[in-house]
Amino acid sequence: MSEALPQFQLSRPASIAEVVATLKSHPDARLCAGGTDLIVNMRRGLVETDMLVDLGKVAGLNQITETKKGLEIGAGVTLADLIANKAVQTYTAVLEAAGAIAGPSHRQSATVGGNLCLDTRCLYYNQSHWWRKSNNFCLKYKGDTCHVAPQGNRCRAAFSGDLAPALIVFGAEITLVGPDGTRRLKLADFYHEDGAAHLDLKPGEILTTVHLPKSNARSAYGKVRIREIMDFPLAGVALVCSGAKGDETLSVAVTGTNSMPLMVELTKAQMLGADQDAFFAAINKDVQKSVSPQRTTTTGSHYRRLSIAAVAERLARELCLG
Ligand SMILES: Cc1cc2nc3c(=O)[nH]c(=O)nc-3n(C[C@H](O)[C@H](O)[C@H](O)COP(=O)(O)OP(=O)(O)OC[C@H]3O[C@@H](n4cnc5c(N)ncnc54)[C@H](O)[C@@H]3O)c2cc1C
Ligand code: SF4
């Protein structure tokens, strides 16, 4: 059960410089893009802040620009606009991942930046305040024990954003702007394997842009979820297949299984020779080996591991064999 939204001030900056200045003068303020995750978490008492910084009016944040090198996607672009954009149509995995996030009305306001900066999720965390209090809270927030792995001292909550793996397989980079200036890094390096601190987002920083390299490679995204109509991924997988027929090279990234999205290290990234079954079986095994789903959902960890490996193998066959 959700609770009432607490009182907060709303700041509506018009530029990125104003966002950074606001965050500097109010260190506890929280960025709010579409609010489709943040507001739910605030109602559950998972976010303590007395100020939200609404990104909806920030100039330039909701644009997609085509350059010689690829696409510059503003963090404030909504998922609906991303899917509708002509220049994005060749990135099938990105379209499929974005289209599988929440429901159509969420996607009208949910943004690319909000999805990449999504909080991690866990059965013991995404609950009402009274539910968590009756369990003495947990290590991620207000408590001292992890109910998923009580012997450990690290939160295992899962990163469950769909878009990140689909951008990572294309080698996307991001720009962050903060009080110390601007920095650019690989999207894959933005995440840590720690459910309580999974983002490399420094105090006062905002993610402004996703840089998606030019690509015509075949790609796909698949996810396993409890409710097919609308649900976070129990596990999700993105694949890019580049190269000519008979000389394909694959890249694979997963989400939902760890506290961060991750690239899968493939023992056989290239489909060489006639033994295609061995190639696809190796992808299945590599995905199984790479992921570490924990008891953070009601669905068994082993099922999540096996099912996402099977989805990866199926999509690899479809992409490579056409
Ligand atoms: C019913 C339901 C189903 C959902 N299903 C899915 C799903 O299947 N897959 C999925 O991935 N998500 C799902 N979501 C979660 C959410 O709707 C999406 O992840 C959405 O893309 C979040 O974007 P937003 O703009 O609403 O983020 P917000 O809620 O505004 O923000 C999310 C977080 O990102 C931070 N943030 C936002 N923008 C920036 C920025 N530019 N720089 C730095 N930090 C920023 C915020 O401070 C906050 O911590 C679901 C949510 C609901 C309610
Ligand atoms: S994995 Fe452990 S610490 Fe993290 S949210 Fe779940 S119960 Fe809490």
Nearest atom, ligand 2, residue 154 CA: 3
Nearest atom, ligand 2, residue 147 CA: 7
Rounded to the nearest angstrom, the distance between the alpha carbon of 37 and the centre of ligand 1 is 4
* Cβ neighbourhood burial of 263 (10 Å; 0-12, 13-18, 19+): middle
Q: How far apart are CA 208 and CA 16, in angstroms?
A: 8
3-state secondary structure the chain: CCCCCCCCEEECCCCHHHHHHHHHHCCCCEEECCCCCHHHHHHCCCCCCCEEEECCCCCCCCCEEECCCEEEEECCCEHHHHHHCHHHCCCHHHHHHHHCCCCHHHHHHCEHHHHHCCCCECCCCCCCHHHHHHCCCECCEECCCCCCCCCCCCCCCECCCCHHHHHHCCCCEEEEEECCEEEEEEHHHHECCCCCCCECCCCCCEEEEEEEECCCCEEEEEEECCCCCCCCCCEEEEEEEECCCCCCEEEEEEECCCCCCEECCCCCCECCCCCHHHHHHHHHHHHHHHCCCCCCCCCCHHHHHHHHHHHHHHHHHHHHHC
Percent with pLDDT over 70 in the chain: 98
Q: How far apart are CA 129 and CA 141, in angstroms?
A: 11
Nearest atom, ligand 2, residue 145 CA: 3
> Would you state the pLDDT for residue 210?
98
pTM: 0.97
| Class level of CATH domain 64-117+158-321 | alpha beta
The domain segmentation of the chain, as residue ranges, is 64-117+158-321
Is the minimum distance from the CB of 113 to ligand 1 under 6 angstroms?
yes
Q: Which ligand is nearest to the CA of 157?
A: 2
267 CB-near residues (< 8 Å, 6+ apart)? 282, 285, 286
Mean pLDDT, the chain, whole residue set: 95
Is the minimum distance from the CB of 78 to ligand 1 under 6 angstroms?
no
Taking residues 106-126, report their average pLDDT.
98
Taking residues 263-273, report their average pLDDT.
84
> Would you state the pLDDT for residue 47?
95
> Would you state the pLDDT for residue 251?
96
Rounded to the nearest angstrom, the distance between the alpha carbon of 53 and the centre of ligand 1 is 15
Type of residue at 319: L
- Ligand 1 atom 36 nearest Cα: 114
> Would you state the pLDDT for residue 314?
97
141 closest CA partner among 262, 41, 288: 41
Q: Which ligand is nearest to the CA of 137?
A: 2
- Weakest-pLDDT range from 165-174, 210-219, 240-249: 240-249
> Would you state the pLDDT for residue 2?
54
Q: How far apart are CA 105 and CA 234, in angstroms?
A: 22
The pLDDT tens digits of the residues spanning 175-192 come to 999 999 999 999 999 999
> Would you state the pLDDT for residue 247?
78
Whether 272 shows a pLDDT value over 80: the answer reads no
Rounded to the nearest angstrom, the distance between the alpha carbon of 66 and the centre of ligand 1 is 25
> Would you state the pLDDT for residue 141?
95
Whether 245 shows a pLDDT value over 80: the answer reads no
